[in-house]
Amino acid sequence: MNAPRVTPTDIPGLLVLDLHRVEDSRGWMQEAWQREKMTAAGLPDFGPVQNNVSVNATAGVTRGFHAEPWDKLISVATGRIFGAWVDLREGPSFGRIVSLEVEPGRGVFVPRGVGNAYQALEDGTCYTTLINEHWSEEARESATFTNLDHPSVEWPIPLSDAVLSDADQAHPALDDVEPAQRPRPLIIGADGEFGTALREELRDAQFADHDDLDVTDPDAVAALDFRNISAIINAAGLAGVDGAEADARAEAWRVNVTGSANLVAAARDHRIPLVHLSSSRVFGDGELHDEDEAVSPGDPEGAVQAAADAVVATWQHHYILRADRASVEDLSGAIVHVLTGPVPYGIYNVSSEAGARLDKLRDTGFEPRADAT
């Protein structure tokens, strides 16, 4: 089947999909979800884990606005709906409305924090939803709701004639809604050298130091609530282990390699990017090398860093930043740049003293803030 066409809307992240249908005398079929084609067309690789189906007995059944802590891809198998979406996330687009009709052949991707509502326009309308978190009562309690009676939404069937649940009628007016917090990056190792500096540069981030999180403990990492984390920034690595005693090298391995493996597992489970801070010690000579060059560590520290890089690279959505001699301004700027991109996943050098080695990052539009010669 042909690839879908993805169209952005006035609400950031809310996307409309026009799906290709194949029809004959028996009926029709379409690919409601096809990861390879849809991500290539511009849909996020949101990793659905649950499919919900609701059949609406009569025209006029109206549901919403619900902004649960998960992304969703909605479509219609039979019938038609009038869909409406309101941005309930904190920020300048809060309260913004988008509405349109959806019938077979069209879908809408709804990012978490955007309120979703619809009205069935035909009896027996079958509405389907793919979501990327398992439904639970606990998760639902953290959702954000607002009243269907929004002045900017012109429901085809007046709400006075619609079929509504008591719960939906009890939701607050938009002016009384506490905006949903936008997902923010989590900096691991916030009490280290880079982590401490990044606190000043990335003040909107979330922070976890060693007392908050032992990255070597897989259960502690898995227990973190990742629903409001947009990316993991791993600045927890230990350095300065050359010539150290065996127990110090073992601790460095636990933090850098085992800890990285635990973070990779969490990033993979929750489908979020992982930014890992490394250095050119993986080459053994302290000089910047080309990003695609094979590593060749010449000391214990380089070996530990190379092993950590290899573990991080097993997760498709990784950024490895080799931050030799980089100013905190350049490093934080590079982190923001790769996370707001679009920047291809992979390895990038960041340095204030070896501008020639910034070519790969500059090719993606990055401009260092400090002098790079």
- pLDDT score for 356: 52
Question: For residues 10 and 84, is the Cβ–Cβ distance under 8 A?
Answer: no
Domain 184-362 CATH class label: alpha beta
- pLDDT score for 330: 83
pLDDT in tens, 95-146: 999 999 999 999 999 999 999 999 999 999 999 999 988 888 877 778 999 9
- pLDDT score for 308: 95
- pLDDT score for 174: 94
CATH classification code of 5-176: 2.60.120.10
pLDDT in tens, 296-347: 888 888 899 999 999 999 999 999 998 877 778 888 888 988 988 788 999 9
- pLDDT score for 210: 84
Residues of the chain with CATH 2.60.120.10: 5-176
Q: Structure pTM?
A: 0.79
- Which residues, 6 or more positions from 366, have their beta carbon under 8 angstroms from its beta carbon? 333, 334, 337, 343, 358
- pLDDT score for 102: 97
- pLDDT score for 182: 85
Question: For residues 278 and 346, is the Cβ–Cβ distance under 8 A?
Answer: no
- Which residues, 6 or more positions from 364, have their beta carbon under 8 angstroms from its beta carbon? 337, 338, 341, 343, 344
Residues of the chain with CATH 3.40.50.720: 184-362
Mean pLDDT by 10 residues, the chain (373 residues): 87 92 82 88 89 95 94 95 97 95 95 96 97 84 90 94 95 94 90 82 87 92 88 81 64 90 94 91 78 86 91 95 81 87 87 63 78 47
- Other Cβ atoms less than 10 A from the Cβ of 341: the count is 14
